[in-house]
Structure 1
Amino acid sequence: MPVCPSHRRRAVRRLRTALAGATAGVLLAGLAALPARADAGTEEPLGTAARTAGHARFEPGPCPRTADPTPALETAHCGTLTVPENRSRPRGRKITLAVAIVPAVQKRAPDPIVWLAGGPGDDANSEIQLALNGDLNRDRDVVFMSQRGTYSADPALTCPNIDQFNADALGLVYGAPSTGRLHVAATRACRDRLVGLGADPGAYNSTESAADYADLRVALGIRRWNVFGISYGTDLALLYMRLHPEGIRSVGIDGVLPPSLASGAVTWKAAREGLDGIFDACAQQPACNDRYPHLKATFERLVRQLEARPVTTTVTVPGHPEPVEVVLDGGTLVNWLTFASHLAAGVPRSLDELAHGNPQRIAEQLAGGKLSPQAIGRLSHGLAYGVFCSEWTPFESEADVLRAGRRAFPSFPESVLANAPGLAWLHADCRAWDVPAAPRSVRAVTRSGIPTLVLSGGFDSQTAPSSGPYAARTLSRATEVTVPYVAHVVFADSPCAQSITTSFFDTPTAPDTGCLAGLQPPAFEIAP
């Protein structure tokens, strides 16, 4: 299954665990306040009353299942939003989306925040702790709803067979045509299973999801709310504010993927920008530069060498009694590094060890991530392919991806450049997924006067630091911030970004960005 450049936060968590425990060298793997409401004369807290919005209906009920323990659900108000699977057939099949409303910690502002998850295919209710770790619910209730097809929705269009294939493929050459054929076969098998269960694969896309959120606001009786989207959630947020601007007070987007740019091609640009940020930071730090000189050249040389002569090694992974075989080729190294950017401090050392004939650290991280129980059955491949195959691939060719890769990394062999980072065999997968192309208007630039906070990370190798300023140029009341030395989705890792975000929702036209002045580059690990 392709890994969307909008980065899946659980993959990052697995990588963080691995690198934090690098000495072992193994990846281990009450009542909500009344918001600004259309019916503010009533007194029931948000999420405790059934309401209808057109063909959608909210019903209070039990809190959703989540992929990880979520203590905040003990005090949340929960329920489900029932919507048409396909709004072109409003009286046809219905689906349900799980809703959790986490109350504010202290004073309660009248307008809540709605969280748009990444992916595409991640579940918002499984990202609750990520949001709360950043103090997002300090002053406001935060509304989480599973995007259609995700883990806590019904149906959940997950594909454990694809996840299992990705684990089994550790021992295969990533870019080999035979690997591609097996990948596409797994994709087709999942589609056939979901269709056999009655799902309409063409109904899982950003346009339908944007309408789901518009319906949710009305069904909850909220007059005005704020939107915060991360990664793919920024693509969805920009589309939502263009198609359904009613009732939106402000919008925050972090790890920006504008719909007009979303493609395999842009992931090559992102990799170039984010990785160059890490290489340049090492070069500017005397201890790192002295120990790991010419890091950029070393990385590109390793990609060429491994693509010509893949290296096979065996590693041990907790929970797996048998040793695991891992093949490292050029494409695998690129994929590893785009995610390893989340803990940039260890990148130079890992690349240096590989250059000196020791692939263990990188291989252990790769295997730990793919073989973790958390890697199986959590991502909605149905939503991911619904977005990729209707909104991305119809508007770019495989040749476009290759040309973009060649512009970003002219020294890489064509066999590496043919598969964008994290998106191997995407066009072939989309031919198997077989959904109609979205109208070209889905890729229009969003022009809006809604106050918007546009956050990017200087080390973002998944959606590109430059994508933030690109999106901000057509948002007339945007505050554009690039947080240096941080990878994709700065809210997850940067206390400064968290502070800027909460101040933005307090005063959307004048957030406090003063913390940026004190930020320092990471202290890169120096091997003895």
Structure 2
Amino acid sequence: FAEPAGFDIECGYLTVPENRSDIENGRTVRLHVAIFHSDNPDKAADPVIYLEGGPGGDALETVPLIFASRFAPFAVDRDFIMIDQRGTGYSEPSLACPEMIDLRDDTIEMELTDEEALAFSLEALDECRARLAREGVDFSAYNSAENAADVNDLRLALGYDEWNLFGISYGTRLAQTIMRDYPEGLRGVILDSAYPLEVNLFTDTPANVDRALNTLFAGCAADEACAAAYPDLETVFWDTVALLETEAAPIQVFDLQNGETFDTFFDGDGLIGIVFQGLYSNEIIPVLPQLIYEASAGEFALVETLLSAFMLNSEYISLGMQFAVQCNEEAVFTEPGSPAAAAAAYPELENFFAGLTNLSEVTLDVCQDWGVDEAPAIENEAISSSVPTLVMAGEYDPITPPAWGEQVAANLDNSVFFLYPGV
């Protein structure tokens, strides 16, 4: 990866068993690790290790994009460690699914029905799964318990008595697993956008997305300038979704890596999707009312810019790792039919969720083919811990709502919960 200036960076690999319950099979994984050494002569002895979200997010590939703004402050007085979790980024084997990127590039200029788009996605996912299976990947070994053991093995290999965890989104679930299984190596924990072990992502997400959208609409209505510029934002949004579902709009998007331009189509579910994605970013949230109003007027320049950026982001995720983890830890605790019923409670979102392969009823069908084992009940139970923990949440978070952060904090003996308004 492109190294940020001003840091003494040490990179290497840690080799661990792929499946600690079947070590005799001899398969291993190599975890890519980078240590950003602080130049402070009085730096603390306990470093911070970052746990990426996803699951399946590539940590080190994103260093050139976000390190300076997000992580550099940690290195003022501590070493900062980043790891590509098993199956992700530069770690080996990679569970990335280039088949999905190829599908996107092959079909982006086609005007597909929802059914056709879903069928193509499922076919590409199955091609990825089949390829990884031929390569010998044991999908049951790509889970948070093994992931947590990897992190603890890294601590021991580097010789730290204690360190601090900093997890975001799925990284907070991983951090909680480490708090449960390896508390002896922890000085402190930061959970940013907490994901409790005991919740169900598949059945809770429709309500979480609806809450975030309503928070956006209410936030604009409560702000004098926003309300004046974009009145009745909620009605305009849903009217535009309905209009674009009736007739998709032709737009252009750009490959930010090679400059190639694609002619494609933008429908109502696309508008829901881009606002959903935008709610992850405090830089994008302030422009969402403008985006909605411009789309209602048939103007899509801002949509095109954001979609192009989101296309780039989609290349920093290992979907095979994501499905292995979620099939291991969510699907096995999910009653068939319950994700569809949860989405049906929000009729305006139901079609949007029906087209998602990773957050819907469809996911349960996909997981039938991934060959995962039944997870221990403990993987669906809240943790308790006395490790000092800061739990943070953003008001507009569309996937890990503030209530989840409060829920996690309430189960910890030594925690502080902080809500960031407006982000």
**What pairs up with 1:113-262 in 2 under 5 angstroms?**
113-128=48-63, 130-134=66-70, 135-171=73-109, 176-262=114-200
Deviation at 1:484, TM superposition (A): 0.8
1:14 aligns with none
Deviation at 1:400, TM superposition (A): 2.1
Match of 1:442 among 379, 382, 388: 379
CA contact 1:304–1:413 (8 Å) conserved in 2 = no
Match of 1:108 among 12, 33, 43: 43
Q: How far apart in 1 are the matches of 2:336 and 2:35? A: 42
* C-alpha distance 316-231 of structure 1, shift in aligned 2 (>3 A): closer
CA contact 1:391–1:442 (8 Å) conserved in 2 = yes
CA contact 1:273–1:460 (8 Å) conserved in 2 = no
Query: Quick one: which amino acid aligns to residue 152 of structure 2?
Result: A
**What pairs up with 1:405-444 in 2 under 5 angstroms?**
405-407=343-345, 410-412=346-348, 414-419=350-355, 423=359, 425-444=362-381
CA contact 1:401–1:419 (8 Å) conserved in 2 = no
1:357 aligns with 298
1:345 aligns with 286
2:415 aligns with 478
Percent identity over paired residues: 32
CA contact 1:335–1:422 (8 Å) conserved in 2 = no
Deviation at 1:97, TM superposition (A): 0.6
Query: Quick one: which amino acid aligns to residue 148 of structure 1?
Result: R
Q: What runs of 5+ residues in structure 1 fail to find an aligned partner?
A: 1-65, 487-528
CA contact 1:230–1:256 (8 Å) conserved in 2 = yes
2:28 aligns with 94
CA shift digits 1:277-330 (9 cap, x unpaired): 3222211122221221111222233333433x1413032526678752333333
* C-alpha distance 277-115 of structure 1, shift in aligned 2 (>3 A): same
* C-alpha distance 174-369 of structure 1, shift in aligned 2 (>3 A): farther
Give the total of aligned pairs. Answer: 413
Match of 1:75 among 8, 13, 17: 8
Return 311-320 or 132-141, whichever deviates more: 311-320
CA contact 1:175–1:416 (8 Å) conserved in 2 = no
Match of 1:331 among 259, 266, 269: 269
Deviation at 1:151, TM superposition (A): 1.2
CA shift digits 1:254-281 (9 cap, x unpaired): 0111121241222223222322232222
Return 246-255 or 263-272, whichever deviates more: 263-272
Match of 2:343, SS?
helix
* C-alpha distance 355-314 of structure 1, shift in aligned 2 (>3 A): closer
Deviation at 1:174, TM superposition (A): 7.6
Q: How far apart in 2 are the matches of 1:339 and 1:422? A: 15
**What pairs up with 1:395-410 in 2 under 5 angstroms?**
395-397=333-335, 399-407=337-345, 410=346
Query: Quick one: which amino acid aligns to residue 268 of structure 1?
Result: P
* C-alpha distance 174-231 of structure 1, shift in aligned 2 (>3 A): farther
1:280 aligns with 218
Q: How far apart in 2 are the matches of 1:109 and 1:291? A: 49
Deviation at 1:357, TM superposition (A): 2.8
CA contact 1:350–1:362 (8 Å) conserved in 2 = yes
CA contact 1:269–1:464 (8 Å) conserved in 2 = no
Return 134-143 or 443-452, whichever deviates more: 134-143
- Which has the larger helix fraction? 2
Q: Which runs of 4+ in 1 moved over 6 A?
A: 319-322
Query: Quick one: which amino acid aligns to residue 122 of structure 1?
Result: G
* C-alpha distance 466-83 of structure 1, shift in aligned 2 (>3 A): same
Q: How far apart in 1 are the matches of 2:372 and 2:53? A: 21
Deviation at 1:453, TM superposition (A): 0.3
Q: How far apart in 1 are the matches of 2:357 and 2:369? A: 20
Deviation at 1:477, TM superposition (A): 0.8
Query: Quick one: which amino acid aligns to residue 28 of structure 2?
Result: K
Query: Quick one: which amino acid aligns to residue 104 of structure 1?
Result: S
CA shift digits 1:18-38 (9 cap, x unpaired): xxxxxxxxxxxxxxxxxxxxx
CA contact 1:270–1:465 (8 Å) conserved in 2 = no
Query: Quick one: which amino acid aligns to residue 185 of structure 1?
Result: E
Deviation at 1:451, TM superposition (A): 0.7
Match of 2:402, SS?
coil
1:369 aligns with 310
CA contact 1:205–1:387 (8 Å) conserved in 2 = yes
CA shift digits 1:481-503 (9 cap, x unpaired): 011111xxxxxxxxxxxxxxxxx
Match of 1:479, SS?
strand
CA shift digits 1:210-248 (9 cap, x unpaired): 111111111221111111101110111111111221111
Match of 1:282, SS?
helix
Deviation at 1:420, TM superposition (A): 5.8
CA shift digits 1:442-466 (9 cap, x unpaired): 1110111111000101111122122
Deviation at 1:137, TM superposition (A): 1.3
Output the TM-score relative to the length of structure 1.
Answer: 0.73
Q: How far apart in 1 are the matches of 2:171 and 2:200? A: 12
* C-alpha distance 395-102 of structure 1, shift in aligned 2 (>3 A): same
Q: How far apart in 2 are the matches of 1:467 and 1:172? A: 39
Q: How far apart in 2 are the matches of 1:250 and 1:321? A: 44
CA contact 1:232–1:257 (8 Å) conserved in 2 = yes
Instruction: Give the alignment's Cα RMSD to 1 decimal.
Output: 2.5
Q: Does 1:270 align with 2:208?
A: yes
CA shift digits 1:359-392 (9 cap, x unpaired): 443245324532x4x644x422221111111111
Return 155-164 or 415-424, whichever deviates more: 415-424
Query: Quick one: which amino acid aligns to residue 445 of structure 1?
Result: A
Q: How far apart in 2 are the matches of 1:87 and 1:347? A: 46
Match of 2:236 among 298, 302, 322: 298
Q: How far apart in 1 are the matches of 2:247 and 2:234? A: 20
Q: What runs of 5+ residues in structure 2 fail to find an aligned partner?
A: none
